Structure 1
């Protein structure tokens, strides 16, 4: 159908950049054929070549992309191809259609056409489609809306927001399009309790099915979920997928921030589109995105047109004489057209009451009442255990009062639930609580029991609280905890609330909860709770760099833990004290406390505690310049975490070992461990340590004199670390960039980068960061031949290393200063 040149042009327009091997595999031709065509396309100005180092491969590779002229020509050609007519198989028949009328990616269609015939079913089997796309029994009309969605897929826009009132058919429209789309389809429905963790976990599960496991590994780890890290993973792994987010009006807080970040990810992709459905679309974009950038489109849907409404009512065998009145009164509202059984007059609530619910039997009303209290679809067993027969439920599904998964439409639920008696609500929520308790769905269990049996809800919340927080149930769980004030387990629940506020970064509120819990614990003289409260308060103060008060609370935690012989509490307290000492440059005291912490972690067989203490001790030794001892401790930690299968801590240890080798100038070993770090971090989605590894590896290659590789890594690292926002790492990455630029003799750029590193280092008061930056800054000036500024920076570095007690670096810098003094005297 197309020449190889035309195929390559379309592929590069879609994918933006490809290697020769990727293009050959895509079109199933020999790489040599691609090479011949590419050379001609470069010569005529349509394609350009970029040579880049491929991380993990150990070599450089050529990548090809369209020039500005090539993009213009490719778009023009794509439009021409889209207007080409082919024969399409449809339920055994052949129909003639233009390619752009087919609800599939143009590349996929072109790849699959044989003898001018295209069979959509063959290509659909190759794709992954979410299993939870809503089912619908029939579909009428909406031709204009379907065409508008098709236009969106062909456009440069990235997100389409479809809004409309409740029951107007947004979900059905989306489900219809999704079920017929020829490509990977992800579907996720929001509700008012949805957390970012839950949404991202579902997306990670989906991407795993299409061979991209990074996000799934990341979200199922113990790491705190960060939008910046999720965005970096999606930028790399989310390709060739149509995403549907349903009921987006429920999205709030961090989910809306995720949407904002997602828009910036989509700006860099041509093969990912997002369709958002909701009564309203969250304001994560502004009018410039719609009017100027055109990366967001908006669409509002209304009732069915008269002809489609008639077809729906005729399909339901409604009496012809009633149809016109029904259409006039219900204004084409699809849900009410499905419910209508005769004349429909009055407002919606009145209509529901008089025309629908007044005609239901007692068992049917009980079934809808029971279903209305559920937030999610559930199993039929809930009905059967309450004595409701399957035929009753089936009849309600047939009447569209229940969905096929027994869930109630929002509009119906909002009508039914407020009309339940207090006794009914208590009974139904109690049944739901028991159902979810038996299924170990603790968040739903607590939700329902908060209404039916608050004391039992408090018990479960106290017992399962940490697990629920780990699973990302933050705002929803907090709302439930607030309703449990005054019931049992108050001390435990206050600590859990404090932990939630800590995660949200609301440290004042967290401290308020911890202090309340401490006051109760003191009144009851419960030393084990006093220890726990003081530890949590100390951790918050530590994050605020309030070292004196943090030390007081860690010390009090230690004293309380000693009274109850709680070795785990004593271990945590010594670890906290050690951390404070390390941050306040009392390195010997830090090591003393870490040693005691290690002793107690061993007594309680806390392997993770042992491993993290080895890391802390190794880092302290590294700051002191005792590199041999540091490496031994890091290897002990490495053995510990590898035996536990903890890949996240393993990555962290690789980074630390690489850093020690780097500081001791064993560059080959530093590179070895940084490359291990990058490979594992990329595989498990640990974006933070991936960025650190890239930054450190750039410096290592710079020290070997390989400026090209160093530049490749630093250019990848800097945007990532800026996005992550860790100022310590940003400072070090700017210092690394300064080193690479002075290797290239770009003195101006190097000075600018070192000054930025120093500025950030001073801002965060990090002697460790400043000491390394000043030392490399000095070496840059020395290399430039500016001995006066070199001396100044060596002296700055010396002051830092003297405070840190790093004897090896002190000796190195004093030798450098002696050498400079000799040079300066000769000049005089």
Structure 2
């Protein structure tokens, strides 16, 4: 290949990135750089048997002044530090910019004279005495940014992972090589070695190609975690008393209503049907239906509430109380007290920043899936709901414990609705509506299913009283997930024909202590005046199990 020839050019005042300043011929010559006149050459890559035409500009040659500007721009954060690293000393600049130390001092004198760079004395880490350092002025920052934009388009040669020789802009080399290289490092390697190779050990470990998920951006994806109304459910049968209880609660002073019952007894169906038929007073509220999943966290639920309020970078809501900053960085706990104060102030909305709808109507489904932090958040939301005159319905399989029993009995803060199976009269009406009253008695149906709505629906679909899907549902949702001790207690109750006092029942199964809270809170075992008894639907299923064992 023909040797390279260069010629020195005098500085032209019309340079695109250096203003004309008198008596600075040295720096002008350095910044302008030596222009390379190169004939077109053809580079043949033997690995792929292909040819790549290399034109003028394929050979990199960066002026010393440009190198210094890029290097100091990379360390602009050390400008006002009392103790700095050696990267902005003469030795550090010499190593990074591939310039002999005496030439660093010579170039710096010219740059300081033009007002591009300033100098000072600082303590250097690992050194015993103060040393001279250099940093960019405001003019120098502008010129360094301009030089970086211009040099980013410089073509460099990169040998890819497959061995192909590619010519790409210098700004793309780091990503293509999957290495942690800044622009100056890319240009220096390219200038002195010609091509940068994938996997070069000097470039450090190869970075993972995984892309950061969108969830690292505040509020991203929150819209997919909740709905603005409860889901559309099946037709509801009966539950007239429970509907009246919901109407009474909404028109009263209690801010919280809890709806509890075993799996599949129609809790969500009841709330959804009541919501669709009760429009008075709801249209002026921000409705949020959130189905809690086992993987949900308190921070995730809080983020969804903020999103429902309209907070976030893409919305025009004025976050007057900086509510979004309450969300902690990853790995840090949520400040519940700060959340309570700021969320309450935001919902009261004294400045009218949210608009006409500043009251929340939260419907939190399956809250039994929340962990301890989630339960604490429910206590915070309870106080916020009361202070802002909002409403919240909590749906759970077990009795929630984020409030005190006095809140229900004497303070009037919480209303409770415990769902059981449908009554015999409701079952009779349902059986008549599906045309099976002459085949199945409501009494027998109640004894077999306990009035569980899911069992009646399967009867309507398949005509079987104990359909396998009904049995499988009870097993997967209740029976199979019970601890052995709890299952033993329930099996003993299923054999009985009347309620059994707890002392007699515990002695018969060898259990020591009070009745298991998990069974009582979920309504699986009921405490009556005569003793302990089972939920009828579960009793029917366990009787089938005990008969098979006997």
Tell me which interval the TM-score lies in, with the shorter structure as reference length. Answer: 0.3 to 0.5
Larger Rg: 2
TM-score by length of 2: 0.37
Q: Which has the higher contact order (CA 8 A, sep 6+)?
A: 2
- Greater strand percent: which structure? 2
